């Protein structure tokens, strides 16, 4: 068994690298479309990039409860928890919506753009507040926003249930597991949290084990159940990505790499912006450059443009949001960490 990572430290270094990998996977998944690349095998390989979303879900399963436990989260901190999350994710999200609306307007000026109206209706735009689009059958300004809605649903559920789980009463914990393991079959719609619950639970179990809330046997058995359910409700590549993520976090917690760290730092901005930067760039030029080597150059150029744009966006929008979120502190109600366990 590897040495446990220091969970009192600010972060687990490898998680930032995994964020960079996940964001890049999603980028290339969106850049390589069947309409542009006609090699079916190549398209199928890049479709694996969608699994990057589920790497993010597992990471959220680790870091969100970990930060709550580490901060002494309790019910009286519910408002502060939600405020911290909103301060962290909302400014970049709202700024991205504005940029997307500008992009939709500019797109109509490009002759090679398909004659498709991408501008969401006013009602749909209003539903973006609170991530309500899927609940009212609305239309996202950008398709990737569905994952933010799933994450937000997760925040609410975890904030309501976590204090019960930390009481040490096994019945609460087992009921929690049952909710996460059976809900995918009750609401198998990708737009909502339940079908993705097993992926989040894999991360939560790991955090519970590392903070000595549960023993290794319980962690192993329920994780195995999570993977089984995941294979039943989603492509096997997603379950493999989830397993890969948790194994890397466990066995290589201190791994770091400067390039991946950089990508991890801007991963949220990269995830948000790539459809209206790199993907838009590729879409515009794909009508002119479609030879084999040109496609490769164009996709790489689109990725570089996405990264540069994300870095600028990170500096201007996301980093200030991070600082604002960090200033919001919980009222300490309990401490889970024990000195001898670190």
Residue 1 lies in a domain: no
pTM, to two decimals: 0.92
Question: Which of 223, 185, 186 shows the shortest CA–CA distance to 201?
Answer: 223
How many domains does the structure of the chain reveal? 1
> Per-residue DSSP letters for 25-70?
HHHHHHHS-TTT---HHHHHHHHGGGGHHHHHHHHHHHHHHHHHHH
CA distances, 30 to each of 12, 47, 52, 262, 272 (Å) = 29, 8, 11, 21, 12
Tokens representing residue 249 in the block = 């976090």
CA 329 centroid distance within chain:
23
Q: Is 82 exposed, middle or buried (0-12, 13-18, 19+ CB in 10 A)?
A: middle
Question: Which of 18, 100, 15, 25 shows the shortest CA–CA distance to 271?
Answer: 25
Number of other residues whose CB lies within 10 A of the CB of residue 152:
20
State the residue range of the domain holding 45.
Answer: 13-341
Residue 4 lies in a domain: no
Residue 302 lies in a domain: yes
Q: How far apart, in whole angstroms, are the C-alpha atoms of residue 83 and residue 329?
A: 10
- DSSP conformation class of 194: G
Residue 229 lies in a domain: yes
CA distances, 108 to each of 2, 119, 179, 274, 323 (Å) = 55, 10, 46, 19, 37
Number of other residues whose CB lies within 10 A of the CB of residue 310:
26
Digitized pLDDT (tens) for each residue of the chain, 342 residues in all: 444 555 545 579 999 999 999 999 999 999 987 677 777 778 888 899 999 999 999 999 999 999 999 999 999 999 999 999 999 999 999 999 999 999 998 887 776 555 566 788 999 999 999 999 999 999 999 999 999 999 999 999 999 999 999 999 999 999 999 999 999 999 999 999 999 999 999 999 999 999 999 999 999 999 999 999 999 999 999 999 999 999 999 999 999 999 999 999 999 999 999 999 999 999 888 878 878 788 889 999 999 999 999 999 999 999 999 999 999 988 865 444 443 332
> Residues 178, 194: contact at Cβ < 8 Å?
no
Residue 123 lies in a domain: yes
Tokens representing residue 37 in the block = 């690349």
Residue 5 lies in a domain: no
Residue 334 lies in a domain: yes
Question: Which of 200, 192, 222, 219 shows the shortest CA–CA distance to 208?
Answer: 219
Residue 285 lies in a domain: yes
């Amino acid at each position: 068994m590897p040495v446990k990572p220091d969970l009192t430290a600010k972060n687990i270094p490898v998680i930032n690298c995994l964020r960079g990998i996940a964001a890049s996977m999603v980028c290339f998944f969106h850049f390589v479309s069947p309409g542009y690349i006609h090699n079916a095998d190549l398209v199928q390989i890049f479709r694996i990039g969608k699994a990057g979303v589920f790497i993010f879900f597992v990471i959220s399963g680790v870091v969100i409860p970990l930060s709550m436990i580490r901060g002494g989260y309790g019910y009286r901190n519910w408002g502060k928890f939600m405020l911290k999350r909103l301060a962290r994710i909302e400014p970049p999200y709202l700024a991205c919506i504005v940029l997307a609306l500008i992009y939709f307007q500019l797109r109509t000026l490009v002759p090679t753009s398909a004659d498709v109206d991408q501008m969401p209706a006013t009602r749909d735009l209003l539903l973006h507040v609170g991530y309500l689009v899927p609940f009212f059958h609305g239309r996202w300004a950008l398709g990737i926003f569905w994952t933010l809605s799933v994450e937000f649903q997760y925040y609410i559920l975890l904030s309501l249930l976590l204090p019960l789980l930390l009481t040490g009463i096994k019945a609460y914990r087992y009921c929690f597991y049952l909710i996460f393991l059976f809900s995918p079959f009750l609401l198998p719609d990708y737009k909502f949290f339940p079908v993705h619950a097993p992926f989040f639970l894999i991360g939560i179990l790991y955090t519970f084990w590392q903070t000595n809330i549960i023993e290794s046997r319980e962690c192993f058995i329920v994780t195995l159940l999570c993977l089984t359910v995941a294979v039943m409700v989603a492509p096997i590549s997603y379950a493999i990505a989830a397993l890969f993520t948790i194994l890397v976090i466990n066995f290589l917690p201190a791994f770091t790499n400067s390039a991946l760290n950089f990508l991890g730092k801007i991963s949220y901005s990269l995830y948000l912006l790539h459809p209206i930067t790199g993907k838009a760039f590729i879409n515009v030029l794909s009508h002119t450059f479609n030879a084999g080597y040109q496609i490769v150059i164009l996709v790489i150029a689109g990725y570089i443009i996405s990264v540069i744009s994300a870095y600028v966006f990170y500096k201007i929008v996301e980093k200030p949001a991070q600082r604002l979120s960090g200033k919001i502190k919980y009222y300490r109600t309990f401490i889970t960490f024990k000195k001898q366990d670190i």
